[in-house]
Amino acid sequence: MLKKEFIKGLWKENPVLRQLLGMCPTLAVTTSSLNGAAMGLATTFVVLSSGIVVSILRKIIPPQVRIPVFAVIIATFVTIADIVLKAHFPLISRELGPYVPLIVVNCLIMGRQEAFTSKNPIHLSIADTLGMGLGFTWLLVLLGSIREIMGMGTVFGMRIMPSTFEEWIIMVLPAGAFITLGLLAAFYNMINEKKMRS
């Protein structure tokens, strides 16, 4: 049970590829692998911690005002994440710019509270939110790496393409994010369809 809830976020119900949630940070900050990883981990921290708190409080939150309550809980952890990033990783914080505070409106996080943690006990909530957060993170790292390799010839800042390689500037522009994400989602569907048939 615990394992199932954790695993599903990684592939079967991947927040980006299957649920198509959190598109804004997915498209906007994945100009490099490092930015993708930082955004993914920050989101994982927020979804996990707010998931725990919502799960603990799930019986005393009045259902009529649950959305504002979730929002306040999420905003608390986003503020913590923002301040920690600013203090310890000022460079990454500057790169991500307004997208760290914007995690508060990431529909992936609100979606997990609404769909899962507000109805399930704490240990399942931890498994679920951790899986979702890591599923979000690995995709952001993959997307960021593809864009960084094609657009700048590097991955995590290390040059891996030969010096004769001509950088595809479009890949670090917004258009490159849309094209790459679309192709990734197409491959995801293709693989799933093949699995279904066999």
Q: Which residues bind other proteins (CB under 8 A)?
A: 166, 168-171, 173, 175, 179, 182, 186
Pair of tokens at residue 73: 């809980």
Whole-Å CA distances, 190 to 10, 135, 150, 187, 195: 17, 19, 23, 5, 9
Task: Provide the minimum distance between the beta carbon of 24 and other proteins in the complex, in angstroms, as a whole number.
Answer: 22
C-beta of 169: minimal distance to other proteins in Å?
A: 6
Rounded least distance, CB 159 to other proteins, Å: 19
Radius of gyration of the chain (CA): 18
Contact 132, 108 (CB under 8 A): yes
Closer CB to other proteins, residue 65 or residue 166?
166
Q: Which two tokens stand for residue 68?
A: 């504002």
DSSP string, 15-67: TTTTS---HHHHHHSTTSHHHHHHHHHHHHHHHHHHHHHHHHHTTTS-GGGHH
67 versus 186: smaller Cβ distance to other proteins? 186
Considering the complex, state which of residue 2 and residue 190 has its C-beta at the smaller distance from other proteins. Answer: 190
Nearest approach, Cβ of residue 170 and other proteins (Å): 4
Q: Closer CB to other proteins, residue 16 or residue 171?
A: 171
